[in-house]
Amino acid sequence: MDTLSASVVITARNRREETLRAVASSLCQDFRELEVLVFDDASDDGTSRALTETTPRIRLFALTERKGYIVNRNRGFREAKGDIVFSLDDDAYFSRPDIVARIMTIFENDPSVGAVAIPFIEPLNVRSLSSLRSPFRAKAGDELQGYVGCAHALRKELALQLGGYRAYFVHQGEERDLCLRLLDAGYRIVYADCAHIVHTVSPRREAMRVDFYGARNLILFDWLNLPWPNLIVRLIWDPVAMLRYRFTWRAVPGRLRAIGAGFIEAARRYRERKPVSPQTYARYRRLPGHGPEEWNGPAPAPCKAPE
């Protein structure tokens, strides 16, 4: 059994208090070799200063120009020293100190596992157009078609080998794209048996931006990855499904703009189309997705580092 090291990568943007909480919950993890990297994406709320003053044990990258979380996650793969990279949103946190250790055991015991989807809850339960997925039904140990960005771990070298996330996705849907390529490379994504990550879904999210890129990037995902004839079917069905989702006439112009932007970007990227095999796509379609577990009552408190 291989002995692996781990890194937690947190991308932050103007969520100072939430970022401090995410960092504290990472530093409390009881694992032998763990580093925490924070990419402050040109925040103007004092995030970097607060981190410097309170958490000297982290590797802080204080950016002066906004790059976006996808670019920062890709840089996290390059900068991380760990074999396994845990990606944690700045508005999420670990609820127990043994989460990293339990997930590392999965990677160490099974080299066919390329990524692990971590159980998570969303107490505020804010969903958007970008979340067009079936109710979550997986159980611990199941193989999944992908992971949600706020709660997963990934083999660093595999991520680099696959080229990381496509930065031109900008926002939303980049995980789905990388996961399909990961499956096509012969790896598996499994659901962990561990305590939850709590994703608080910050109220400062830009809802219109999330919805725009969610729709745009679904078209782009189809074009880049789907084999014939599945591509034709999805390029017809997905725009219809997005227009019908929580339909109001008021929403139609914005959704049409997003869908149109997806087709335009697909045309720009036509040379980058590398469809997965029909077998991979059929497998992807059969597998359940990753999503928040149902939760009643107050959310678990964040794990805190020892004094």
Predicted local distance difference test score (pLDDT) of residue 131: 44
Q: Is residue 285 part of a domain?
A: no
Query: Are the C-beta atoms of 189 and 182 separated by less than 8 Å?
Result: yes
Two tokens at 271?
A: 């040379």
CB-CB contact of 278 with 233 (8 Å): no
Tell me the pLDDT tens digit for each residue of 113-160. 999 999 999 887 544 334 444 457 778 889 999 999 999 999 999 999
Kindly state the average pLDDT of the residues 258-263. Answer: 95
Same domain (yes/no): 166, 82: yes
Give the other-Cβ count within 10 Å of 223's Cβ: 21
Domain span at 231:
207-274
In a shared domain, residues 100 and 231 = no
Residue 127 lies in a domain: yes
Q: Kindly report the pTM of this predicted structure.
A: 0.91
Give the DSSP per-residue string, 70-92.
HHHHHHHHHH--SSEEEEEETTE
**Last residue of a domain, which of 152, 176, 199?**
199
Is 262:172 a contact under the CB 8 Å cutoff? Answer: no
Look at residues 144, 177, 199 and tell me which one is the last residue of a structural domain. Answer: 199
User: What does the pLDDT read at residue 205?
Assistant: 57
**Same domain for 67 and 50?**
yes
Terminal alpha carbon distance of the chain: 33
Is there a single domain that holds both residue 247 and residue 137?
Answer: no
Q: Is residue 50 part of a domain?
A: yes
Domain count, the chain: 2
180 lies in the same domain as 218 = no
Same domain, 40 and 97: yes
Mean pLDDT of 96-105: 97
Q: Are residues 149 and 36 in the same domain?
A: yes
Hey, what are 300's tokens?
Answer: 């678990």
pLDDT of residue 198: 96
Do 47 and 185 lie in a common domain?
yes
Query: Pick the residue with more confidence: 200 or 76?
Result: 76
pLDDT at 257 over 90: yes
Q: Pinpoint the alpha helices (H) of the chain.
A: 16-27, 47-54, 69-79, 99-109, 156-161, 174-184, 207-225, 230-244, 252-268, 278-286
The per-residue pLDDT for range 9-26, each reduced to its tens digit, is 999 999 999 999 999 999
Q: Using the 3D structure, point to which of 199, 229, 262 is the last residue of a domain.
A: 199
36 and 169 in one domain? yes
Q: How many CB atoms lie within 10 A of CB 83?
A: 18
The answer to whether position 68 is within a domain reads: yes
- pLDDT value, residue 55: 86
Residues 154 and 213 in one domain: no
Question: Which of the residue ranges 51-65, 69-83, 269-283 would you say has the lowest mean pLDDT?
Answer: 51-65
> Could you tell me if 134 and 270 lie in one domain?
no
User: What stretch of H or E contains 282?
Assistant: helix 278-286
Beta strands, E only, the chain: 6-12, 34-41, 59-63, 84-89, 92-94, 113-117, 120-121, 143-144, 152-155, 188-191, 197-199
Neighbouring CB atoms inside 10 A of 36's CB total 23
Please tell me whether residues 183 and 37 are part of one structural domain.
yes
Residue 216 lies in a domain: yes
